[in-house]
Amino acid sequence: MKPGGERAHPSKSVSATELLPQKRMPRARVRLLATGCIAFLGFAGVCAQALPERAAHADAGEVDAPAETRQLEIGGATITVNIAAGRFDLPSERLYAWVGRAGRAVSLYYGGFPVVRAEVNVKEAPGRDGVFHGFTFSPDSGVLTTRISVGEHTTEQELADDWMMTHELVHMSFPAMADEHHWIEEGIATYVEPIGRAQDGQIPVESVWQQLVDGLPHGEPEPGDAGLDHTHTWGRTYWGGALFCLMADIGIRRATHNQMGLEDALRGILAAGGSMEKGWTIERAFATGDKATGTKVLTELYEKMKDAPAPVDLEQLWKELGVVPDGRTVTFREDAPLAAIRKAITEPPKARLMPAKP
């Protein structure tokens, strides 16, 4: 279990604009073909957007030729893992297993891996330990690719605790959005990652809620903030997006007598072809997700949160869900009004696995 407060999500101290160009692509094209989570020293990371030319250039220039390649068959997909030349203290087997765990968590949540083919390029970070510089993009090859750095001295425990590999693979599951909707891409990756890992037994359920209790206050609007489409700070992008996802999950479960949840909406978007390989409007994605659940939850929540600050009373929400913050972890109350919904959110999903969508 990860210690409380070590959720290695980005710190406000580093901004995306310091790291990558923030040029805008022409509206007629898919503007966001790449998204990346860049972490520094294990405590700060920034998901940034990049122009495809930049991504292609970076990919060509910064990734070593693979020394080893293995194809993992996970959730109906073939994930090609390239481990770049370099020395790791751990045997390659442990790195393949780490990518495999991430792929399994994502496949469980989505009922199959989001795309039929994907690539993961693991680069060595000499002299370091931990996982850094996650970056997922759609290269010219058409095969969605995650590029990620692993420290030479990374330990098995660090790989077991790592969230970034799963976060990056979740990015493959949702269509590429225009710049102003980057929050939904990061929000989904932030929200789904721990749930998928808990569903697979990789982390305890308490850890999912503890991360939300710790993280979601960062997603609340600060004075002067506008809606999610307009305030593009770190907090509003990652955790504001995750807050949208949690509210959507609860909303769908309330509207369907707890028979469906956000995962059904997201699976519906994938089933309609909405992976990161495609550029969609946010309205199309939400309408498609709503159709899958027979509700209007995503569309109506978006209307509410896109332009206006729309704060959420988190203290009240934890009470309703029966989540009791308890130092560095949480405990649960089964007599809370939304306890059944809370449990359903992290329950391992229905057994049926859908094939991955091309």
Q: Which residues bind Zn ion (CB under 5 A)?
A: 37, 47, 186, 189
Kindly state the smallest distance separating residue 221's Cβ from Zn ion, in Å: 21
Kindly state the smallest distance separating residue 167's Cβ from Zn ion, in Å: 5
Structure-token pair, residue 82? 């390239």
Nearer to Zn ion, 186 or 263 (CB): 186
Nearer to Zn ion, 186 or 206 (CB): 186
Question: How would you label 58-85 residue by residue, b for 16+ Cβ within 10 Å and e otherwise?
Answer: bbeeebeebeeebebebbbbbbbbbbbe
Kindly state the smallest distance separating residue 276's Cβ from Zn ion, in Å: 11
Nearer to Zn ion, 124 or 186 (CB): 186
Nearer to Zn ion, 130 or 322 (CB): 130
Measure the CA–CA gap between 9 and 7, rounded to whole angstroms: 6
Nearer to Zn ion, 189 or 272 (CB): 189
Ramachandran area for residue 93 (φ above 0: left; ψ -120 to 50: alpha; else beta): alpha
Kindly state the smallest distance separating residue 210's Cβ from Zn ion, in Å: 20
Residue nearest to Zn ion (CB): 47
Nearest to 45 by CA among 224, 215, 196: 215
Kindly state the smallest distance separating residue 38's Cβ from Zn ion, in Å: 9
Q: Judge contact between 229 and 139, C-beta under 8 A.
A: no
Kindly state the smallest distance separating residue 183's Cβ from Zn ion, in Å: 11
Measure the CA–CA gap between 254 and 267, rounded to whole angstroms: 18
Nearer to Zn ion, 37 or 266 (CB): 37
Nearer to Zn ion, 37 or 276 (CB): 37
Kindly state the smallest distance separating residue 239's Cβ from Zn ion, in Å: 12
Q: Judge contact between 228 and 240, C-beta under 8 A.
A: yes
Q: Judge contact between 46 and 14, C-beta under 8 A.
A: yes
